[in-house]
């Protein structure tokens, strides 16, 4: 049970959006799909969900091609950054139609989430703010109960409280009803503790597709007095530093050799965002 993306290529005019992308989205995992603007994240998700067509390659959902296949597509729900729902439709009508198209949609749970997010179900789509436009789609994504849920910028426009609530609900939902979630976002720090697998896409090519643990083990963070840190990082591959007052943190690629660590320095796991920036720069 998985979504297999096989050698997908897609160009828009002379721009190559995806070049031979192959990934496997396994059952009941949470993936972070990370990439800079224009890297090809949304294009990839759009191809998986039959919204656009690939120039080459194919996508299999549990062994079925997702291209013009209702059965395969019924297993996927994609919450897009762009709104595809009719502007004049009320949220409660959208919920009702979602239930028609996805019989596994949990209406009671959706209404409960609407209460939590203080979403007025009698409002129509065009009257919602950017944040609430994301919220109603997030609620559908969390209530739809499909095997695969693709979230493209799910927290766009959400305030910190709502973002926090969303992450909490996502973890709760994943624990009670495991499914495959793919989160495409720029807020890497916020999702770094939620995602289990990291897919980094750069200029239409997959440059990393590993578990978070594997990815984090390629480097580490060292913190302490600036002078000690500066001394320690000499000759090491430093991908970034942060300084506050006399304290400094440095992000270093490579394996930790515990015996080399001087007193007064603290070693912690690599920061995913720093790693992402390093990997996708240039």
Q: Which of 7, 27, 86, 164 binds another protein (CB under 8 A)?
A: 86
Q: How far is the CB of 195 from another protein (least distance, A)?
A: 24
Q: Is 69 in the site for another protein (CB under 8 A)?
A: yes
Among residues 27, 57, 3, the alpha carbon closest in space to that of 204 is found at 57
Q: How many other CB atoms are there within 10 angstroms of residue 235's CB atom?
A: 6
Please report whether residue 77 would count as binding another protein according to CB under 8 A: yes
Q: Least distance in Å: CB of 223 to another protein?
A: 42
Stretch that binds another protein, among 79-87, 117-125, 182-190, 234-242 (CB under 8 A): 79-87
- Tokens linked to 42: 């949304």
> Given candidates 13, 68, 244, 259, which one binds another protein under the rule CB under 8 A?
68
For residue 98, state whether it binds another protein (rule: CB under 8 A): yes
Q: Which of 51, 177, 186, 203 binds another protein (CB under 8 A)?
A: 51
φ/ψ of 159, rounded to 5, equals -75, 170
**Minimum separation from the CB atom of position 70 to another protein (A):** 5
Q: Taking the complex as a whole, how short is the minimal distance between the CB of residue 82 and another protein, in angstroms?
A: 5
Site map 14..43 versus another protein, x via CB under 8 A: ----------------------------x-
The single residue among 38, 55, 84, 171 that binds another protein, judged by CB under 8 A, is 84
b/e 30-42 (16+ beta carbons within 10 angstroms → b): bbbbbbbeebbbb
Distance, in Å, from the CA atom of 147 to the CA atom of 2, rounded to the nearest integer, reads 9
| Between 35 and 219, CB nearer to another protein | 35
Compute CA distances 190 → 17, 40, 44, 206, whole Å.
26, 21, 22, 22
Contact window for another protein (CB under 8 A) among 63-71, 192-200, 210-218, 220-228: 63-71
Token duo for residue 73: 């597509």
Q: Which residues bind another protein (CB under 8 A)?
A: 42, 46, 49-53, 68-70, 73-74, 76-78, 80, 82, 84-86, 97-98, 100-102
């Amino acid at each position: 049970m998985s979504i297999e993306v096989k050698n997908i290529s897609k160009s828009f005019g002379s721009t190559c959006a995806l070049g031979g992308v192959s990934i496997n989205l396994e059952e009941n995992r949470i993936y972070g799909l990370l990439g800079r603007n224009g890297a090809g994240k949304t294009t990839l998700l759009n191809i998986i969900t039959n919204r656009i067509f690939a120039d080459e390659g194919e996508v299999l959902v549990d062994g079925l091609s997702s291209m013009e296949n209702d059965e395969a597509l019924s297993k996927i729900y994609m919450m897009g950054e762009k709104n595809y729902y009719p502007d004049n439709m009320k949220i409660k009508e959208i919920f009702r139609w979602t239930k028609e198209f996805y019989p596994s949609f949990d209406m009671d749970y959706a209404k409960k989430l609407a209460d939590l997010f203080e979403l007025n179900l009698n409002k129509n789509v065009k009257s919602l703010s950017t944040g609430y436009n994301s919220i109603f789609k997030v609620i559908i994504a969390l209530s739809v109960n499909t095997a695969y849920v693709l979230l493209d910028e799910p927290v766009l426009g959400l305030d910190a409280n709502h973002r926090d609530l969303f992450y909490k609900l996502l973890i709760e939902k994943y624990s009670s009803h495991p499914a495959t979630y793919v989160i495409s976002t720029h807020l890497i720090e916020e999702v770094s503790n939620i995602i289990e697998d990291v897919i980094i896409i750069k200029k239409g090519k997959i440059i990393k597709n590993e578990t978070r643990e594997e990815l984090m083990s390629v480097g580490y963070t060292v913190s302490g007095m600036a002078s000690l840190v500066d001394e320690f990082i000499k000759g090491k591959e430093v991908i970034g530093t942060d300084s506050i007052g006399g304290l400094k943190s440095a992000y270093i690629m490579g394996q930790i050799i515990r015996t080399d660590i001087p007193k007064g320095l603290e070693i912690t796991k690599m920061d995913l965002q720093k790693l992402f920036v390093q990997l996708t720069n240039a």
